[in-house]
Amino acid sequence: MKDPTITPELIAKHGITPDEYARIQGILGRDPNFTELGIFSVMWSEHCSYKNSRPELKKFPTSGPRILVKAGEENAGVLDVGDGWAVAFKIESHNHPSAVEPFQGAATGVGGIIRDIFTMGARPIFLLDSLRFGPIEAGAPGAAANRHLLAGVVSGIAHYGNCIGLPTVGGETWFDETYAGNPLVNVFCLGVLRHDQIARGAARGSGNPVFYVGAETGRDGLAGAAFASRELTEESREDRPAVQVGDPFREKLLLEACLELLASGCVAGIQDMGAAGLTCSTCETASRGGSGIDVDLDLVPKRETGMTPYEILLSESQERMLVIVHRGQEDRVREIFEKWDLPHACIGQVTDDGLMRIRVGTRVVAEIPAADLTDQAPVYHREAAEWTPPQDLDISTVPMVDLTAALPRLLAHPTLTGKRWIWEQYDHMVRNGAVVGPGSDAAVFYARECGKFLAASVDGNGLISRLDPREGGRRCVAEAARNLACAGAVPLGATDNLNFGNPHKPEIFRQLRDSVEGMAEACRAFDTPVTGGNVSLYNESPAGPIDPTPVVAMVGVIEDEAHITRQGFRGPGDSVWLLGERAAGLDASQFLLILHGRKEGRPPQTDLGTEVSLHQAVRDAIRDGLVRSAHDCAEGGIAVALAECCLSGEGLVGVEIFLPDDERRDDESLFHEAPGRVLVTVDPADEEAFHDLATLCRLPVRKLGTTGGSELVIHLRTQTWRWPVEALFPAWDGALGKLMGTVAEPLAAH
Amino acid sequence: MKFAVLRFPGSNCDQDCLRTLQDTFGATAEPVWHKETSVDGYDVIILPGGFSFGDYLRCGAIARYSPVMAAVREAATRGTPVLGICNGFQILCESGLLPGALVRNRGLHFICRQVHLRLENTASPFTRAGQVGQVLRLPIAHGEGCYLADEETLDQLESEGRVAFRYCAPDGSLTPGANPNGSLRHIAGILNGPGNVLGLMPHPERACEERLGSTDGRFVFASLLESALAAVS
């Protein structure tokens, strides 16, 4: 088959601008051929080059005494956790593929992030996920299609994670019309390794053989990275071939084989073939190694005949790795791959001429300076629109509603409700590490390899980010850190997933810039460097861009098993305390959104100094043995947080609460969403010690009531609200299952 | 006493079984690769959970042809205790070492949760440390755990006392809601005729430490260790 002629139309179809084309001509000193054009197109897509976001990403703090591998250096960052052990972790999105084919889109998202972790030499041990969908309640527009996406994504994650044997131990799922047609699927993976096991994705040692191992290359996922860097349109479903098909069994074999191979000492460099497949892995390893690489496509294992060099290089077939092996170790390497029944081939070698040279037999089909391909990618400083701060909510425009009915309604809303329907589909117990599994503020995982208790939480709030991106950025980081503190953990580091619309629009770019600045500010305050992450732009459906949704996953460590703390009430007779300032207003609250359908107001601002003291106080109280349970007070305000404490423990526990008169309306007092608040239960015998500790930390602290009884009772001034916990439980625990009752919506309903 | 934990491509509870045996019980336990042709020298053989061969074709349908399975069959014939957990149970059914089949859960979803089980048989080497009627709390994690067999087989299992575990409510009663996957007669685990092969869907190796929420799985391994002691004395 003859390659098409390079025309301006063909260049534009590859998403390459005239300026970028001129840059390519400059690098090559000639016109690129068709194959080379394809290579530049994927390597310079946003997904691979971060050309629109790189200047922003530089604002994140990325260094610290625990950092062993920095953000951007390798596939994932690596952090020291003590005693010679380290963790590698990262979050990554698979939004576009999941919008088009939810099951495979989500499944391959899981597969991709797992490969990023074991490529570092780490044994992956758990997953988290952060999901966003359009409304699924009966009668909501597009509900059937959104339920189809939710069912598909959850079963895709379950399919891949369960089969490979990695527990999904936590996460968060929100529902909002902004995500209709453009769901967000962000998956986090963490692995453990010893310091001396860190593997590098660099091609070093001229003459070292380059091995291909894993699934054969097919035409699936052609140029998926470029696909992910475009807006979703009505025609996106025709892009279904750009979505890959995952094989978790193959990946399990690849994982075990690679870890065995890395332990053998035969490996000089290793890189997974994810986005942009063979192209990205060859040029990145060469570029990192300051070397060249020479590959013969005739030797690549293929599952289809007649594939062109363009197709082979741009295929995103899953479950493949590129391994650079020390010369002389080839037989040992082949022996390991054969033990695991994996297709493999030596497809080329490392050179010292700095060129990525792709051959078909003796015919050279592409020849590009490897370092220029990765380092000379364009960088755009996009234009940001001016920001008009949101108006404060005029509370007089919010009609009063029956608050007794409001709480069960909020608890049954898909965003706030219990997510058991989701996490029961995940094997969250395999690897025997989920000490605190799904459904508490943070997951706590016992990493048996190193004897450490690791805590992790993933958080994002699109509503707040829409109204005030900078506060949204601060808020998600602060919430993740607070969740870790409530579990008894010291945060160590974070990974971010930036989900935004098209950055060419000044309004969107402003959201991106402000969100990053807010996140960076908060990460500095908590001393949690960002170890890497993912940028997903162009999250737009025909209805418009999504609300900006930065998501952060934070990892911490709990030094003593006795300090592991959960959110649920432990039993009757404990006193309930609120740490942190009570603020007011229903601005940017879920109450205002769910009950009044309004995305409005100026979100209460996070005071990072107070947050830091609050988290320290919670941890200190936990270490002093004063805390029975601790729960972050967030979406849905104090009433929802109290209900979650009643409902999510070992058994149902009632509570009687006396809210102080803050001269606000009842709905504000119960449901406002000020940051920086934690609900703590304390044994009455320890009350004095707890109060002293909080006062010493200069934190507002107030006793609210006592656990016990069969009701959640809230007194405020002369008012009393009562909710039998047995009646609240089914609303909270069963709502999602009820909505999803019959899951298999036909694709035609899409 | 030495345990073999078989390792098929796609097994993923092999490490959990090995660690539980070694760390919680101080037992000698070794992984045995599926391409091995002998299990001589092992006193107990465990087929762990996971997705052997990706569960392609049918759960356990490919693993039954692994070279090690001929050796397992021979050992079972000699009376060596063989324990199949979850995917291991599925492999034992596919191998014909246990009757019946495990099919897709009634609700079509994979389910991972703590369930209650009633212990029905304490005459086996796996259950001797328990009491008949005892209610246990163990986790399940499977998509294909609905036990099916024809009426005749079920009646035979019942009359020979070979139903080892049933899904039940916390009080031991067999309510429909307590059956998570639609298994006939609430069956969660069965024995072979001589009683030395046990297959069960729940995971006892995930319920041996307080920190994981239940220690009710310990008695299975404790029974095996006790059986070995009894055999020696």
Which residue is associated with the tokens 């399975």? B69
For residue A580, the 8-state DSSP code is S
Q: Do B203 and A429 touch (CB under 8 A)?
A: yes
- Write the CA distances from A511 to A384, A471, A504, integer angstroms: 8, 11, 12
Q: Which residues have CB under 8 Å from A425's CB, separation 6+?
A: A154, A155, A158, B109, B110, B111, B112
Q: Is B34 a catalytic residue?
A: no
CA–CA gap between residue A333 and residue A260 (Å, rounded): 10
Nearest C-alpha neighbor of B50 from the set A318, A249, A203: A249
Nearest C-alpha neighbor of A125 from the set A70, A192, A177, A67: A192
Q: Which residues have CB under 8 Å from A162's CB, separation 6+?
A: A426, A427, A430, B51, B110, B141, B143
Question: What is the DSSP track for A38-94?
Answer: HHHHHHTSHHHH-TTTHHHHTTS----TTEEE-TTTSSSEEEEEETTEEEEEEEEE-
Q: Give the count of beta carbons closer than 10 Å to the beta carbon of residue A361.
A: 10
CB A373 within 8 A of CB A287: yes
The four Cα atoms A324, A326, A329, A334 give a dihedral, to 10 degrees, of 0
CA–CA gap between residue B142 and residue A128 (Å, rounded): 20
SS3 A355: strand
Burial of A222 from C-beta contacts in 10 A (0-12 / 13-18 / 19+) = buried
Q: Give the count of beta carbons closer than 10 Å to the beta carbon of residue A702.
A: 15
SS3 A590: helix
For residue A314, the 8-state DSSP code is H
Residue A252 has its nearest CB partner, among B10, B13, B20, at: B10
CA–CA gap between residue A592 and residue A690 (Å, rounded): 34
Q: Do A252 and B9 touch (CB under 8 A)?
A: yes
Nearest C-alpha neighbor of A530 from the set A8, A32, A59: A59
Nearest residue of chain A to residue B204 (CA atoms):
A432
Q: Do A425 and B112 touch (CB under 8 A)?
A: yes
Residue B33 has pLDDT above 60, yes or no: yes
CA A296-A302-A304 angle, 5° bins: 130
- Given a cut of 50, the residues of chain A with pLDDT beneath it are 742-750
Q: Which of A126, A166, A247, A249 to mutate to test the interface with B (most CBs of B within 10 A)?
A: A249
Nearest residue of chain B to residue A163 (CA atoms):
B51
Which one is catalytic: A14, A94, A148, A159? Answer: A94
The pLDDT assigned to A60 comes to: 97
Q: Does B36 touch chain A (CB under 8 A)?
A: no
Taking CB atoms and an 8 Å cutoff, what residues of chain B touch A250? 54
A537-563 residues labelled b (16+ CB within 10 A) or e (exposed): bbbbbeeebbbbbbbbbbbbbbeeeeb
Count Cα atoms within 13 angstroms, Cβ side, for A321.
37
Q: Which residues have CB under 8 Å from A314's CB, separation 6+?
A: A38, A39, A42, A222, A223, A276, A277, A279
Count Cα atoms within 13 angstroms, Cβ side, for B159.
6
CA–CA gap between residue A464 and residue A199 (Å, rounded): 39
CA–CA gap between residue A467 and residue A475 (Å, rounded): 12
Nearest residue of chain B to residue A431 (CA atoms):
B16
Taking CB atoms and an 8 Å cutoff, what residues of chain A touch B25? none
Which residue is associated with the tokens 């149970």? B89
CB A172 within 8 A of CB A443: no
Q: Give the count of beta carbons closer than 10 Å to the beta carbon of residue A420.
A: 17
Residue B171 has pLDDT above 60, yes or no: yes
Q: Which of A160, A260, A420, A429 to mutate to test the interface with B (most CBs of B within 10 A)?
A: A429
Question: What is the DSSP track for A16-28?
Answer: --HHHHHHHHHHH
Taking CB atoms and an 8 Å cutoff, what residues of chain A touch B143? 162
Q: Which of B24, B211, B218 to mutate to test the interface with A (most CBs of A within 10 A)?
A: B211
Q: A463 — phi, psi (to 5°)? A: -65, -50
Q: Using only C-alpha atoms, what is the Rg of chain B?
A: 16
Which one is catalytic: B13, B17, B59, B86? Answer: B86
For residue A569, the 8-state DSSP code is -
The pLDDT assigned to A86 comes to: 98
Nearest C-alpha neighbor of A51 from the set A702, A509, A618, A719: A509
The β-bridge partners of A536 are: A499
Q: A78 — phi, psi (to 5°)? A: -130, 135
CB B92 within 8 A of CB B201: no
CA–CA gap between residue A301 and residue A347 (Å, rounded): 9
Residue A706 in tokens = 């006592």
Element (H, E) at A278: helix A277-289
Nearest C-alpha neighbor of A407 from the set A677, A667, A736: A667
The four Cα atoms B50, B52, B54, B59 give a dihedral, to 10 degrees, of -90
For residue A387, the 8-state DSSP code is P
Q: Does B109 touch chain A (CB under 8 A)?
A: yes
- The residue count of chain A comes to 750
Nearest residue of chain A to residue B12 (CA atoms):
A165
Residue B19 has its nearest CB partner, among A340, A432, A744, at: A432
Residue B139 has its nearest CB partner, among A162, A429, A446, at: A429
Share of chain B above pLDDT 90, in %: 95
The whole model's pTM is what? 0.95
Residue B70 in tokens = 């001929």
Q: Do A428 and B9 touch (CB under 8 A)?
A: no
Q: Do A432 and B209 touch (CB under 8 A)?
A: yes
Residue A666 in tokens = 């009842």
Nearest residue of chain B to residue A437 (CA atoms):
B212
Q: Do B112 and A448 touch (CB under 8 A)?
A: no
CA–CA gap between residue A429 and residue B212 (Å, rounded): 9
Q: Do A427 and B112 touch (CB under 8 A)?
A: yes
- Which pairing describes strands B187-191 and B163-168: parallel, antiparallel, or unpaired? antiparallel
Amino acid in position A182: N
Q: A282 — phi, psi (to 5°)? A: -75, -45
Q: Does A426 touch chain B (CB under 8 A)?
A: yes
Residue A689 in tokens = 């010690």
Share of chain A above pLDDT 70, in %: 96
Q: Do A424 and B12 touch (CB under 8 A)?
A: no
Average pLDDT for B199-209: 98
For residue A302, the 8-state DSSP code is B
Give me the total of CB pairs closer than 8 Å, taking one residue from chain A and one from chain B. Answer: 82
Per-residue pLDDT tens digits for A163-192: 999 999 999 999 999 999 899 999 999 999
Residue A184 in tokens = 């967000």
Give the distance from CA A437 to its chain's centroid.
Answer: 17
Q: Is A94 a catalytic residue?
A: yes
Q: Do A340 and B9 touch (CB under 8 A)?
A: yes
CB A367 within 8 A of CB A358: yes
CB B18 within 8 A of CB B4: no
CA–CA gap between residue A76 and residue A56 (Å, rounded): 19
Q: Which residues have CB under 8 Å from A466's CB, separation 6+?
A: A178, A472, A547, A548, A599
CA–CA gap between residue A500 and residue B165 (Å, rounded): 51
In the β-sheet with A292-296, what is the strand arrangement from edge to edge? A267-272, A320-325, A209-214, A344-351, A292-296, A355-360, A363-369
Nearest residue of chain A to residue B36 (CA atoms):
A339
Q: Is A750 a catalytic residue?
A: no
Q: Which of B8, B12, B86, B203 to mutate to test the interface with A (most CBs of A within 10 A)?
A: B12
CA–CA gap between residue A726 and residue A219 (Å, rounded): 54
Q: How far is B18 from chain A (nearest CA, A)?
A: 11
Q: Do B211 and A341 touch (CB under 8 A)?
A: no
The β-bridge partners of B168 are: B116
Per-residue pLDDT tens digits for A19-38: 999 999 999 999 999 999 99
Q: A215 — phi, psi (to 5°)? A: -60, 150
CA–CA gap between residue A262 and residue A356 (Å, rounded): 25
Question: What is the DSSP track for A79-146?
Answer: EEEETTEEEEEEEEE-HHHHHHSHHHHHHHHHHHHHHHHHTTT-EEEEEEEEEEE---STTSTTHHHH
For residue A405, the 8-state DSSP code is H
Q: Do A430 and B9 touch (CB under 8 A)?
A: no
